[in-house]
């Protein structure tokens, strides 16, 4: 088969590799019908994720068809169309029993396209299939459902639920990439009073408006004053960090009101200063997290009911074998306006 193989910092290629095979009885092999590229794949390509070894096939998002199933797999059968979750839970360990699947202790968690071969390929072996893949109802489109592998559960669990969004809240989302935008869309489900999106790119702020932000502001045009003005001087009830750099995390801690919550979603590669000299008196809660994907079944129901704006987020479409071009378009998102680029098998 062909796949996108990581060859060390700055290097990858779409090339011929061996077909995957079942290894453990709890595995399935899935023929990929749709996959996509995540900001985290760009982090890996930059060399920011040293545990991903050269030779690894990238990608942790897919919809596909089960073509082989190990003898121990109970929840799906050969022929089923499934969503492949970005997290593969063993289901047995202490954390999996608490649905903290991202913290799996038995070789599960986020492994696809990270520690083992991933989904940017014609076929992928998925371990711990009983919980790692979800059968799809026939009415949902593969190219839309693929947004539930990672970005929707991440935004919803680590942003909206960890943030504790409630009716009437002022919610600020710093970073309007796919994650921040999906956070805006799922925060809306809780009837916040207003959603304020902060970004540096005008194209992303326009997208935030389309996906439900009531107010948008450039990060370099004093979002602190605006939030203070809109909240009678208090600050925001919930602030989500969806960028992953020190400046934006510190901005979040200045935007939150006393008693409010900062939900950090961004992946950080550098140390960040926690200004306890200002925060100690403010009763704030700071949450961090890796996606667990415990919310995927609920999100799939919402998708099937037409309640998630998936089509708005899928801005570009390519064939799987055009993936190098798709990486280029996704990597230059400020110019191309790309949010999620969807790759589908066949013509």
Ligand X SMILES: NC(=O)c1ccc[n+]([C@@H]2O[C@H](COP(=O)([O-])OP(=O)(O)OC[C@H]3O[C@@H](n4cnc5c(N)ncnc54)[C@H](O)[C@@H]3O)[C@@H](O)[C@H]2O)c1
Q: Which of 239, 288, 231, 236 is nearest to 100 (CA)?
A: 288
DSSP codes joined into one string, 293-322 = -TTHHHHHHHHHTT-S-HHHHEEEEEEGGG
- Contact flag: residue 179 with ligand X (CB under 6 A): yes
User: Which residues between 41 and 80 bind ligand X (CB under 6 A)?
Assistant: 43
How large is the C-alpha radius of gyration of the chain?
A: 20
Whole-Å CA distances, 215 to 168, 199, 242, 326: 15, 12, 17, 31
In whole angstroms, what separates CA 320 from the centre of its chain? 20
Which range in 20-28, 37-45, 53-61, 296-304 contacts ligand X by CB under 6 A?
37-45
Which range in 114-122, 145-153, 216-224, 300-308 contacts Zn ion by CB under 5 A?
145-153
Among Zn ion, ligand X, none, partner that 93 touches (CB below 5 to 8 angstroms by kind): Zn ion
- Contact flag: residue 248 with ligand X (CB under 6 A): yes
Which range in 104-112, 175-183, 274-282, 302-310 contacts Zn ion by CB under 5 A?
104-112
The length of the chain is 347
- Contact flag: residue 292 with Zn ion (CB under 5 A): no
User: Which residues between 263 and 322 bind ligand X (CB under 6 A)?
Assistant: 265-267, 289-291
DSSP codes joined into one string, 25-90 = TT-EEEEEEEEE--HHHHHHHHT--TTS-TTPBP---EEEEEEEE-TT--S--TT-EEEEPS-B--
Among ligand X, Zn ion, none, partner that 52 touches (CB below 5 to 8 angstroms by kind): none
Which string of x and - marks every residue 210-249 that binds Zn ion (by CB under 5 A)?
----------------------------------------
Positions in the binding site for ligand X (CB under 6 A): 39-40, 43, 150, 154, 158, 174-180, 198-201, 204, 219, 242-245, 247-248, 265-267, 289-291
């Amino acid at each position: 088969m062909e796949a996108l193989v990581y060859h060390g910092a700055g290097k990858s290629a779409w090339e011929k590799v061996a077909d995957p095979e079942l290894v453990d009885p709890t595995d399935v092999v899935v023929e990929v019908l749709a996959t996509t590229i995540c900001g985290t794949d760009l982090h890996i390509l930059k060399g920011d994720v040293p545990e991903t070894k050269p030779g690894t096939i990238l990608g942790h998002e897919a919809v596909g068809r089960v073509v082989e199933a190990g003898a121990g797999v109970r929840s799906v059968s050969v022929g089923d169309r499934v969503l492949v979750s970005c997290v593969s839970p063993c289901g047995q360990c202490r954390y999996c029993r608490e649905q903290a699947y991202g913290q799996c202790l038995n070789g599960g968690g986020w492994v696809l396209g990270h520690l083992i071969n991933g989904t940017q390929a014609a076929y992928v072996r998925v371990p711990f299939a009983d919980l790692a893949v979800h059968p799809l109802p026939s009415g949902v489109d593969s190219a839309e459902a693929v947004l539930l592998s990672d970005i929707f559960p991440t935004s919803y669990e680590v942003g909206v639920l960890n943030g504790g969004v409630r009716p009437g809240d002022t919610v600020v989302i710093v970073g309007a990439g796919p994650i921040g935008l999906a956070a805006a869309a799922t925060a809306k489900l809780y009837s916040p009073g207003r959603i304020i999106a902060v970004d540096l790119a005008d194209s992303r702020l326009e997208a935030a408006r389309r996906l439900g932000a009531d107010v948008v502001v450039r990060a370099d045009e004093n979002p602190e004053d605006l939030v203070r003005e809109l909240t009678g001087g208090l600050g925001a009830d919930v602030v989500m960090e969806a960028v992953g750099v020190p400046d934006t995390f510190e901005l979040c801690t200045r935007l939150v009101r006393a008693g409010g919550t900062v939900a950090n979603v961004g992946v950080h590669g550098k140390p960040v200063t926690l200004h306890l000299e200002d925060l100690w008196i403010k009763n704030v809660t700071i949450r961090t997290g890796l996606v667990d994907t415990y919310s995927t079944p609920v999100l799939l129901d919402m998708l099937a009911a037409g309640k998630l704006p998936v089509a708005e987020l899928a801005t570009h479409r390519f064939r799987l074998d055009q993936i190098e071009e798709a990486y280029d378009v996704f990597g230059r998102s400020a110019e191309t306006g790309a949010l999620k680029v969807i790759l589908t098998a066949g013509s």
